[in-house]
Amino acid sequence: MLGYMLKFLMMIFFMNFMMIKNKMGMFYYNLSFLISFMMLFVYMFKDFIWGGLFLYMGVEYYSIWLVILSVWIVGLMMMCLGGWSSELMFMFINLVVLLIMFFLSMDLLMFYLMFEISLIPTFFLIIFWGGNMERLSASYYLMMYMLLISFPLLIYIMKIYSLGLSLKFSLMMMVMYMYDYSFGGFLMIYMAFYIKMPMYVVHIWLPKAHVEAPVYGSMILAGILLKMGSYGLIRLLEVFTYMSMKFNYMILSLSIIGSVMVSMLCLIQVDMKSLVAYSSVVHMNMMLCALMTMHKLGVLGSYIMMISHGLCSSGLFYMVNLFYERSGSRLLVFNKGAMSKLSSVMLWWFLLCVANFSFPFSLNFFSELMILMVILNWNLYLIMYLMMICFMSGAYSLYLFSYVQHGSKSYGPMKFNMSLIKEFVVLIMHFYPLLMLMLNLIMLM
């Protein structure tokens, strides 16, 4: 199993050398989708998935779908490029190699290194290909948040090694599960992952980075990079089980209040991109709440939400960019009445908006159902918060849809042209897995 994954990894890595002679963008994104499908066929033998220790890498249940999602989203990012750009293609290919190595890491030190190195291509995507002058401050926000908070984790990894004498996850689970640390130690270990998710209070960098990033930067940020934090939490909660249960209630309380606050914030946004970015914060905090309960169903619900949110929010960012290219603005008021100008895109806008608030029957619905069950099982008094989150989640998604589609277009230049087939293909390939995975949920069990 691991041998297959390493072959796929090498195939993606050697795309760098193919670019010397082959300048056809279509070849690379079709190859990405082919690799995704091949990984899917390998997954049919999932009973043989085993965390191998070869080259510090291995495959297990919580990593395989995120690897498939990484390659799929990067293929869609390549489709978004208007023309050939060697620098961007180089960034995309190396970013997906880093992501796959992160999700296949079986060693805590390699896990940490891949976690940090993946920040570099994202930083360049925002700095060089971002839209406004604000992109400099946004990328510095991103850098400072990630580096300053994750550096204590590196120091703590050395302490973990001195105590457990190994950094292999499989061995640490045997040795460290009863390890006793203070609240300071808890924050040092987990804070880097909370920021990457991002948890409420430390989420300020995310809307800034999203708004300033180009469309493919937003797609990879929402689709994959936010999932790195939650995947890191899953791996380390398995290792530090006993003491995580001691402090998790604090993070759960903060996250559920944060979800309510940010969903209220979504209702007053005037920029489409920042609205979608804040809705990501709401979903990630809900997912964090389910993880913090330490229940099996909570971890499974969170895992399904990682995949569904990655596809759904990436599709929404792409949709926002379609309107931005035509109207020249991301403001809601400048994009009113789009139904009369781009009626063919309306269906996909509607489907992605309803998937965003977990409408039955989308993959998000099943993940949110599991998350609600597990949080209410943990504490029934949280039902009022969950009702508010579910209501406002539907409210801001429908607010986004109705404000953009309805009304009369009375502002800005009338530069609306017909959609390209490629744009429909990208939208279909965002939504199709959300529906197909729902029809075969046993694949995620």
Q: How confident is the model over 380-438, as pLDDT tens digits?
A: 999 999 999 999 999 999 999 998 888 776 555 555 556 678 888 999 999 988 887 77
Pick 417 or 259 by higher pLDDT. Answer: 259
Collect contacts of 12-16 with beta carbons under 8 A, ≥24 apart. 12/71, 12/93, 12/96, 12/97, 12/100, 13/93, 13/97, 15/89, 15/93, 16/90, 16/93, 16/94
Q: Does residue 166 sit in the same domain as residue 83?
A: no
Handedness of CA 405, 76, 133, 262 (dihedral sign): positive
Handedness of CA 216, 219, 222, 228 (dihedral sign): negative
Last residue of a domain, one of 85, 106, 127: 106
Q: Does residue 303 sit in the same domain as residue 225?
A: yes
Q: Which residues pair with 188 in a beta bridge?
A: none
Q: Does residue 325 sit in the same domain as residue 388?
A: yes
Q: Does residue 70 sit in the same domain as residue 218?
A: no
Query: Which residue range is the domain that position 334 belongs to?
Result: 107-443
Question: What total of structural domains would you count in the chain?
Answer: 2
pLDDT band of residue 292 (cuts 50, 70, 90) is very high
Distance CA 431, CA 310 (A): 11
Q: Does residue 112 sit in the same domain as residue 100?
A: no
Q: Does residue 297 sit in the same domain as residue 272?
A: yes
Burial 313-350 (b: 16+ CB within 10 A, else e): bbbbbbbbbbbbebbebbbbebbbbbbebbeebeebbb
pTM of this prediction exceeds 0.85: yes
Cα–Cα distances in angstroms (integers) from residue 132 to residues 27, 123, 408, in the given order: 31, 15, 28
Tens digits of residue pLDDT in 49-68: 555 545 678 888 888 889 99
Q: Does residue 188 sit in the same domain as residue 257?
A: yes
Q: Does residue 367 sit in the same domain as residue 280?
A: yes
Q: Does residue 144 sit in the same domain as residue 253?
A: yes
Average pLDDT over residues 244-263: 93
47: which DSSP letter?
Answer: G
Last residue of a domain, one of 67, 84, 106: 106
Average pLDDT over residues 263-275: 92
Contact, 80 vs 219, CB < 8 A?
yes
Per-residue pLDDT at 193: 92
Share above pLDDT 90 across residues of the chain, in percent, rounded to a whole number:
42
Within 328-342, where are the H helices? 338-341
Q: Does residue 177 sit in the same domain as residue 221?
A: yes
Average pLDDT over residues 2-17: 84
Q: Does residue 57 sit in the same domain as residue 164?
A: no
pLDDT band of residue 232 (cuts 50, 70, 90) is very high
Assess whether the previous peptide bond of 193 is cis (omega < 30° from 0): no
Tens digits of residue pLDDT in 201-216: 988 888 888 888 888 8
The 3-state DSSP class for residue 389 equals: helix
Last residue of a domain, one of 82, 106, 130: 106
pLDDT band of residue 249 (cuts 50, 70, 90) is very high
Q: Does residue 299 sit in the same domain as residue 404?
A: yes
